[in-house]
Amino acid sequence: MPPSLRLPLFLATIAVLRAQVAPAPVTLEPLVITASPYARTQAELTAATSLLGGDSLALRQQPTLGETLAGLPGVSSSYFGPGSSRPVIRGLDANRVRILQNSVDTLDASSTSPDHAVSVEPFLVKRIEVVRGPASLLYGAAAVGGVVNVIDHRIESELPAGPVAGTFESRHDTNTEGYATGGALDVALAPDRDRASGFVLHLDGFRREANDIRVPGRADPTDPTTDGVIPNTALDSRGASLGLSYVSPGFKTGVNHNGFDTTYGVPNERGVQIDLRQRRWDFNATVDRDFGVFTGARTKLGLADYRHIELEDGTPGTTFTNEGWNGRVELLHRPLAGFTGAFGVELGRSDFSALGAEAYLPTSLTDNQALFIFEEAKTGALTWQAGTRYEHRHVEADAFESIIAANGADPSRTYAARDDDRGTLSFSGGAIYALAPAYTLALNLTHTTRAPNAQELYADGPHLGTDAYEIGDASLKNERALGAELGLRKTAGFVTGALTVFVNRFDHYIYLQDSGATTDFENTPGDPDDDLPEYRFVQSDAIFYGAELETVFHLLSRPGQTLDLRVNADHTRAHERGGPDLPRIPPVKGLLALDWRRDPWRAGIDLQLADAQRNRAANETPTDGYTLLGASVGYLWTTRLVAYDFFVRGSNLADTEARNATSFANIKDIAPLPGRAVTFGVRASF
């Protein structure tokens, strides 16, 4: 652990465990909708959660979802340059962290490779909810690591206060000389104010552009052309949506059509860009009144047509497509034998293909069906939460169409249509005990089973995004995990926050391992440029464990004025049981931040700290520790009709070189985190 973290971590731990603290007013916690069928505060959930919205989201916003969330307790990023990045939660990512858009799957290809972008742009979203740890009960075994739910305004659930309401924002950053601008508009159509009902027309759109990232020193120590810059990291993104909703006190429904386009460079492939396009329909319906034994119902459905093309010096190369849909229905019931909760069903289909010279994945059709139940009961100071989920997955893979096109008729391999059909059962249970009015103790136990996906089963080909030749294993067993999480939370007083410890014990854990061999993917013996390291999907029993601390010291709390000291820290260890460390695990990291607000002004300064990663897998590149300095200032100017929020955010102000331990080796070696940047922005709301 870095010396700079030890004293703050010790002081914060002692403070959050103190039984007696000076009283101070505390604002109500926001409600979380992701971890339970019912909206609950963070203290009312057995799972650890994080929320990002409002000013915090505006200041942390980055072009990718992973970088926007990196730095939250227990959350890192798979950083693959500014165009592509997924969240890594407690050392788990890809197929174990499920990313949702308004509780529906994003239906893209981001989980298949770190160079494939998430089809969600953080610009103008309402808030982001993160469930740290197993959330497989409601969202499937693909969420054994956690859930990230991006919530936006696209299907409105309330009438605007006036005939028209909206938000427009523009920002510019000095590192890439880039900009982002856009807005959202809601129009009330034929509203009945007395009955709080009517139609809402929603429109939104954005545009983001950025040049190559500037970094301190040389991005690739072996390449003098990368002095001060990461080549091929420019991006150009745009998106828009149109939606119509009907809202009333007892019933809400809406539909939205949206599109997202982005073109971005791949840092380790000179001249290679990814041209991504997604078109999507979303439908939502909510009943908020009693019928029979039920108190409400929710239906969500998303349908998407996704494709991205890897452009090689402007020439189309490998094309990835994913046509699919995902939907869920939840029925909330009134108390039955002391329990309240919900029954639900989730269905989905993904028709995925990869065609071209670098197609390392087969064309596959995946069907998912799931049934789940979630129940809650209160007995005195105890709140019980429990449930179960049965999930069935069927994968059909046609290896002929894509893999043979990539590798030719290689007699050393068997190319044939594959079929995989499995069912899995997961359980979850926990309790929250109110130790005192301001203290709660939460315990959560989970048992999950995950069937391997098409990539883990059938990958076979060169994957230049990770500079590897990836090989799946059709004989992989189901992956099972037994998890436990214990959290102490404090919601009022001079110090608020949470201390959480967790452990996940895996049987047949699936991961991508460097075999130590190389493969000549061009079949040109003697040419080392055509050799790629061979990575295989393998299984081993493994264990993940660690701790997270999130505290706020309320140094000053007066009407219109606050001064808070935030101290966060987290640590994750992961290794085979009795064996070596697993790859791409985040090091010990933390945050020290001072936030001041005196209406209409606000300001802050922070230090993001990361230790060197000493616990590495074989052949994994080491990363040094670093400290990144940031600062911000904002001013809210309110007129009779419009509120203007001006803000300035500086990041990595000391221009420190920092490399991300959770990136693949071919990226951490050539693409450090961005250097000094200052972002100027204004947001207008009416």
Residue 6 reports pLDDT greater than 70: no
Return the pLDDT at 136: 63
Enter the pTM of the model: 0.90
Which residue has 């695990």 as its token pair?
Answer: 585
Residue 14 reports pLDDT greater than 80: no
Q: Which of the pair, 4 or 365, is modelled with greater confidence?
A: 365
The token pair that represents 175 in the structure block:
């590192």
Nearest to 552 by CA among 512, 588, 595, 510: 595
Whether the CA torsion 214, 216, 220, 222 is positive or negative: it is positive
% of the chain at pLDDT higher than 90: 62
The mean of the pLDDT values for the chain is 87
- Residue pair 47/29 in contact by the 8 Å Cβ criterion: no
Cis peptide bond upstream of 600, omega within 30: yes
Return the pLDDT at 411: 38
Query: Distance between alpha carbon 407 and the CA centroid of its chain, in Å?
Result: 34
- Residue pair 501/546 in contact by the 8 Å Cβ criterion: yes
Residue 173 reports pLDDT greater than 50: yes
What average pLDDT score do residues 301-315 get? 92
Q: Characterise 293 by phi-psi region: left (phi > 0), alpha (psi -120 to 50), beta (else).
A: alpha
Q: What angle do CA 608, 614, 620 make, to 5 degrees?
A: 105
Return the pLDDT at 22: 34
The DSSP result for 346-395, as a single string, is EEEEEEEEEESTT--S-EEEEEEEEEEEEEEEEETTEEEEEEEEEEEEEE
The confidence band for 203, taking pLDDT boundaries of 50, 70 and 90, is very high
Spatial distance between the Cα atoms of 615 and 510, rounded to a whole number of angstroms? 19
Strand order in the sheet with 104-105: 48-53, 127-132, 146-151, 97-101, 104-105
Three-state SS at 610: strand
β-sheet bridge partners, residue 5: none
Q: Domains along the chain?
A: 3-685 (2.40.170.20)
Residue 258 reports pLDDT greater than 50: yes
What average pLDDT score do residues 313-342 get? 92
Return the pLDDT at 513: 86
Give the CB-side neighbour count of residue 149, counting CA atoms within 13 A. Answer: 22
**How far apart, in Å, are the Cα atoms of 184 and each of 126, 203, 414?**
11, 6, 52
What average pLDDT score do residues 36-61 get? 87
End-to-end CA separation in angstroms for the chain: 47
Neighbour tally for 429: CB within 10 Å: 17
Spatial distance between the Cα atoms of 303 and 252, rounded to a whole number of angstroms? 20
Return the pLDDT at 74: 93
β-sheet bridge partners, residue 449: 480
Query: What residue ranges in 452-494 does DSSP mark as E strands?
Result: 460-463, 468-471, 479-490
Nearest to 654 by CA among 633, 637, 677: 677
Residue 162 reports pLDDT greater than 60: yes
Return the pLDDT at 13: 39
Least trusted range by pLDDT, from 327-331, 612-616, 630-634: 612-616
Spatial distance between the Cα atoms of 49 and 580, rounded to a whole number of angstroms? 30
Q: Which of the pair, 114 or 335, is modelled with greater confidence?
A: 335
Express each pLDDT in 125-157 by its tens digit: 989 999 987 666 788 777 888 999 999 989 999
Q: How many helices (H) and strands (E) does the chain have?
A: 8, 35
Q: Which of the pair, 619 or 370, is modelled with greater confidence?
A: 370
Residues contacting 533, CB < 8 A, separation 6+: 467, 468, 469, 514, 515, 517, 518
Spatial distance between the Cα atoms of 388 and 138, rounded to a whole number of angstroms? 9
Return the pLDDT at 397: 83
Express each pLDDT in 529-582 by its tens digit: 667 888 899 999 999 999 999 999 999 999 989 999 999 999 999 999 989 999
% of the chain at pLDDT higher than 70: 90
Residue 278 reports pLDDT greater than 70: yes
Spatial distance between the Cα atoms of 563 and 596, rounded to a whole number of angstroms? 4
Spatial distance between the Cα atoms of 326 and 108, rounded to a whole number of angstroms? 12
The token pair that represents 90 in the structure block:
């407690």
The token pair that represents 397 in the structure block:
């893979």
> Which run of H or E residues covers position 283?
strand 272-287
As to burial, measured by CB atoms within 10 angstroms (0-12 exposed, 13-18 middle, 19+ buried), residue 225 is exposed
The total number of residues written for the chain in this structure: 686
Query: Distance between alpha carbon 513 and the CA centroid of its chain, in Å?
Result: 23
Express each pLDDT in 371-427 by its tens digit: 999 999 999 999 999 989 999 999 888 754 444 444 443 434 444 567 888 888 999
Q: Please tell me what DSSP assigns to residue 476.
A: P
Express each pLDDT in 474-531 by its tens digit: 899 999 999 999 999 999 999 999 999 999 999 999 998 888 788 776 656 666 666 7
Spatial distance between the Cα atoms of 308 and 681, rounded to a whole number of angstroms? 31
Spatial distance between the Cα atoms of 617 and 574, rounded to a whole number of angstroms? 10
Spatial distance between the Cα atoms of 550 and 71, rounded to a whole number of angstroms? 11
Nearest to 585 by CA among 570, 596, 598: 570
The token pair that represents 99 in the structure block:
């990313």
Neighbour tally for 127: CB within 10 Å: 17
Return the pLDDT at 5: 40
Residue 199 reports pLDDT greater than 60: yes
The confidence band for 107, taking pLDDT boundaries of 50, 70 and 90, is very high
Spatial distance between the Cα atoms of 320 and 483, rounded to a whole number of angstroms? 34
Nearest to 64 by CA among 74, 79, 53: 79
The token pair that represents 198 in the structure block:
């009517």
Which residue has 């300001």 as its token pair?
Answer: 603
Express each pLDDT in 441-477 by its tens digit: 999 999 999 888 888 888 888 876 677 888 888 899 9
Return the pLDDT at 10: 38
Residue 3 reports pLDDT greater than 70: no
Residues contacting 365, CB < 8 A, separation 6+: 349, 350, 351, 352, 395, 396, 397
